[in-house]
Amino acid sequence: MVYPIGGVEVLDVRTHLDERGVFTNIFSSRLILEKTSMREFQVFYSYNVTAGTLRGFHFQKEPSEEFKFIFCLTGEVCDILVDVRPDSPSYGLTNEFSLSGENGKLLLVPPGVAHGYQTLRDHTSLIYAITGKYEESLQERFNPLSTKFIDLWPLPATSISIIDRNSRTWPIES
């Protein structure tokens, strides 16, 4: 499928299901190298207690841009991407995705695309593989409750960090 934001992909992960449960290969160095040509990546885990929790929108600025591979382990999220590349034909456009512990979808977010999500169920957890090296000084964020995005979230916000709530509104300026 082609999405309005260039470089975004949704991948099906190979899952083995039997009487014991599920065994899944979510990330592999081969997949990450094939999709990004990058050898270095870090893996992060996010656990969210309540439905309605908002996280985002986050991205890294040049020269420390990153690819993100996002997989929902348990629960469900509404994941929203925003193209923040000023020279992109899809600048400012959004894509919305449903990721859940049941659907086995792996979301690939390219550099220059901001990522945010809202949990749709209590006790939702995600795992990310993020390429490159995190540089705190190059992290950028904007408020997921900005007027442009407030109607995209399916639930009222029950929890949001102070940092995200106090972030600049969209559109951001360099």
In tens digits, the chain (174 residues) has pLDDT values of: 667 899 999 988 878 888 988 888 888 888 888 888 877 888 999 999 999 999 999 999 888 889 999 999 999 999 999 999 999 999 999 999 999 999 989 999 999 999 999 999 999 999 999 998 778 888 999 999 999 899 999 999 999 999 999 999 988 654
Beta bridge partners of 115: 58, 81
Question: What are the phi and psi torsion angles at 31 (to 5°)?
Answer: -60, -45
Number of CB atoms found within 10 A of residue 90's CB: 17
pTM for the model stands at 0.90
Query: Is the peptide bond prior to 57 cis by the omega test (within 30 degrees of 0)?
Result: yes
**9-165 CATH, one of 3.30.70.20, 2.60.120.10, 1.10.760.10, 2.30.29.30:** 2.60.120.10
Q: What gap in Å lies between CA 102 and CA 85, rounded to an integer?
A: 32
**Phi, psi at 48, each rounded to 5°:** -125, 125
As a whole number of angstroms, the distance between CA 174 and CA 172 comes to 7
Tokens standing for 56?
A: 């985002």
